[in-house]
A = this chain, B = another copy of it.
Amino acid sequence: MAKPRSGPYICGIDAALDVVSGKWKGLILWELDTYDVRRFAELRRGLPGVSEKMLTQHLREMEQDGLVHREVYAEVPPRVEYSLTEHGRSLNAALGPLGRWGMDRIARERTELVEHRDAEILPRPS
């Protein structure tokens, strides 16, 4: 089970996307990068709409991919803390420009209705 890898990667983008392809992985990365350390319930609260199963699953995969570190405390009220590994941090850094691009895209979408806004591309299909 786990992950049927996409076999031999053709390029770096491919390999990287394989690791972040999951509905919540981007957000998990963001959350862990922002807060440094987070507990299971905290992450869950930070990702509105995620189910425990998906959160666990994604966390496990990311742990296996060496992105996330999982620290378990053998206490009476169980406590588990998640944080990014060096590897995970470097991924996040590499994701920086993409994040900014995404922000621009969001901004663009907000003004997409204004047709005067953009004169450069706008392919007009007739």
Q: Which A residues contact B (CB, under 8 angstroms)?
A: 6, 9-17, 19-21, 23, 26-27, 29-30, 48, 66, 69, 85-87, 90-91, 93-106, 120-121, 123
Contacts and interface: CB of A to CB of B under 8 A. Distances in A.
Given A14-B26, A17-B21, A97-B98, 8 more contacts: A10-B27, A12-B98, A12-B99, A12-B102, A13-B30, A16-B98, A66-B121, A85-B121
A99 B19 CA distance: 12
B29 A102 contact: no
A125 B101 CA distance: 37
A78 to B, nearest CB: 18
Contact of A120 (B10, B86, B95): B86
